[in-house]
Structure 1
Amino acid sequence: MTSLASLASLHDLTGKTAVVTGGSRGIGRAIVQILAEAGADVVIASRKLDSCKIAAEEVEATTGRRALPVACHVGRWEDCNDLVDQTLEHFGRFDVLVNNAGMSPVYENLEAIGEELYDKTFDVNLKGPFRLAVRAGAYMAEHEGGSIINIGTAGSLVASVNQLPYACAKAGLNALTVGLAEAYAPKVRVNAILPGPFRTDLSKSWAPAEGEDAPFVPLNRMGRPEEVAPLALHLASNASSFTTGAVIRVDGGVTRKV
């Protein structure tokens, strides 16, 4: 029988280094916090360095772990390379990658989508995660192993006309997850988390007000970032040592309802 003490030990990330893109707010920020609380040193990456610095200061103050802020536009190949290089230069290791950064552009209709918007959506949601995962996965496979976690969307399973390029790019991320799980096995595990409707800065324009029901969700409410973070910790740690190539929904039942 597994005891609480052994469960805590399995989730211990002491001595590990974790990189989280889009880590300064929302789901990414919650994941950064829980990984640091589990003992990991963290790299917080996003386009806005100032936001990363604020998050890094908060993490160090509340957990005692080291936190490195890095400006990174994941849609740019060279920024992805630089993020990996800075991580290894600063911490000397790379154990966990969380590909969380993403974008879901608003458009009037499908005919209004231009090539620039389409390409940017795929660059941020698929090209960047591909490059980072390949660089990180190759390093992990040659060293002590590790875990890669791709943050997708439940919308990749039930694509909406209102988010079609985004859903298509995230569907590609699901395929990438399965392919990389095979490519870097047995030392590297690769899994994906598919959040549904969560209350973040990005959902403010369409989400019901705080405290209001969300009738489009079987659980009748929006999710909270801290409800994804424990699963990310599980997948990052030895507690999930036999889990790879998995695509896991955390959506309050939305995809089943549809």
Structure 2
Amino acid sequence: MKLSGKVALVTGGSRGMGKEMVRAFAAEGADVIIASRKKENCVAVAEEVTKEFGVRALPVGFNVSHWDDCGRLVDTVYSEFARVDILVNNAGLSPLYPSLGEVTEELFDKVIGVNLKGPFRLTALIGERMVNDGGGGSILNISSMEAWRPQPKALPYAAAKRGLDAFTEGFSKAFGPTVRVNGIQCGAFLTDISTAWTEESLTALKDNASLSRAGNPDEIVGAAMYFCSDDSSFSTGATLRLDGGFQ
């Protein structure tokens, strides 16, 4: 029970890799907050982990791209639990667009809001509380291989994730030594977005990844547990590639 007595907040925690991390944290004894845009999905996961693992689970509907909504989430969580030991900035968005010239201002702002602005706001608010409360904590940013190997069809997303990697190192300096901030640079995972992949994309993945496949959502758990537990007590400001050896 590596996380017994801990409180873990996971954004985008109602499905995909986020849900797998919520389940893993709960299995290790943590009380969990599942935060996502669709509250009904959060409620379903909360009921699931409470029944299966016997932990407290709080579902919260919120929009990570809204500055004030991030503040509301933090207030809600602290009024319920009075602390956060683990924050995982997992919520992400990478909508398709027909061409670079057809990227709208609305799409660009939405991608930056979900992938960069929201994580900044949550990390700033919760990280400061972790420091001031004296208990410290662990913050994990879920980044992407696009940050360092950007593809033309995902440039706003790639830029946002590169910024998130910068936040990982910068916040680790701001909140150390009691708060550790690390990141995972994910490759292709078989989450909901994979249903839109073309045959061309799947072929490229097999040809360019050393493991010749995409990851299953639960394959993020080992790395996430390492960074969010005391196993990584000497790691901060680090970003781990978790992409099957994609080149």
Give the TM-score normalised by structure 1.
Answer: 0.91
Alignment-derived partner of residue 219 in structure 2: 227
Does residue 97 in structure 1 map to residue 87 in structure 2?
A: yes
- Work out the CA distance in 2 between the residues paired with 1:159 and 1:152: 12
Alignment-derived partner of residue 17 in structure 1: 7
Alignment-derived partner of residue 147 in structure 1: 138
Listed as ranges, the matches of 1:172-191 within 5 Å are 172-191=163-182
- Work out the CA distance in 1 between the residues paired with 2:163 and 2:154: 14
Give 5+ residue unaligned stretches, structure 1.
1-7
Please tell me whether the aligned partners of residues 199 and 207 of structure 1 are also in contact (alpha carbons under 8 angstroms): no
Alignment-derived partner of residue 239 in structure 2: 247
Does residue 113 in structure 1 map to residue 92 in structure 2?
A: no
Residue 112 of structure 2 aligns with an amino acid whose one-letter code is F
Please tell me whether the aligned partners of residues 34 and 230 of structure 1 are also in contact (alpha carbons under 8 angstroms): no
Listed as ranges, the matches of 1:69-88 within 5 Å are 69-88=59-78
Listed as ranges, the matches of 1:168-207 within 5 Å are 168-206=159-197
Residue 186 of structure 1 aligns with an amino acid whose one-letter code is P
Residue 239 of structure 2 aligns with an amino acid whose one-letter code is V
Q: SS of the residue aligned with 2:73?
A: helix
Q: How many residues align?
A: 243
Q: How well do the aligned residues superpose, as a CA RMSD in angstroms?
A: 1.4
Q: CA deviation at 1:61?
A: 1.1
Query: Given the alignment, which residue of 37, 40, 44 partners 1:54?
Result: 44
Please tell me whether the aligned partners of residues 149 and 193 of structure 1 are also in contact (alpha carbons under 8 angstroms): yes
Alignment-derived partner of residue 236 in structure 1: 228
Q: SS of the residue aligned with 2:227?
A: helix
Q: SS of the residue aligned with 1:43?
A: strand
Alignment-derived partner of residue 35 in structure 2: 45
Q: CA deviation at 1:215?
A: 3.0
Q: CA deviation at 1:207?
A: 6.1
- Work out the CA distance in 1 between the residues paired with 2:106 and 2:93: 14
Alignment-derived partner of residue 4 in structure 1: none
Encode CA deviations 1:106-158: one digit per residue, 9 max, x unaligned.
00010000111101110000000000000010000112000000001011110
Q: CA deviation at 1:92?
A: 1.5
Classify 1:194/1:89 alpha carbon distance in 2 versus 1 (closer, same or farther; 3 Å).
Answer: same
Please tell me whether the aligned partners of residues 177 and 192 of structure 1 are also in contact (alpha carbons under 8 angstroms): yes
Encode CA deviations 1:10-34: one digit per residue, 9 max, x unaligned.
xx11111000000000010000010
Q: SS of the residue aligned with 1:132?
A: helix
Does residue 35 in structure 1 map to residue 31 in structure 2?
A: no
Please tell me whether the aligned partners of residues 154 and 194 of structure 1 are also in contact (alpha carbons under 8 angstroms): yes
Residue 240 of structure 1 aligns with an amino acid whose one-letter code is S
Percentage of matched positions with identical amino acids: 48
Alignment-derived partner of residue 150 in structure 2: 159
Q: CA deviation at 1:58?
A: 0.6
Alignment-derived partner of residue 118 in structure 2: 128
Q: CA deviation at 1:39?
A: 0.8
Give the TM-score normalised by structure 2.
Answer: 0.95
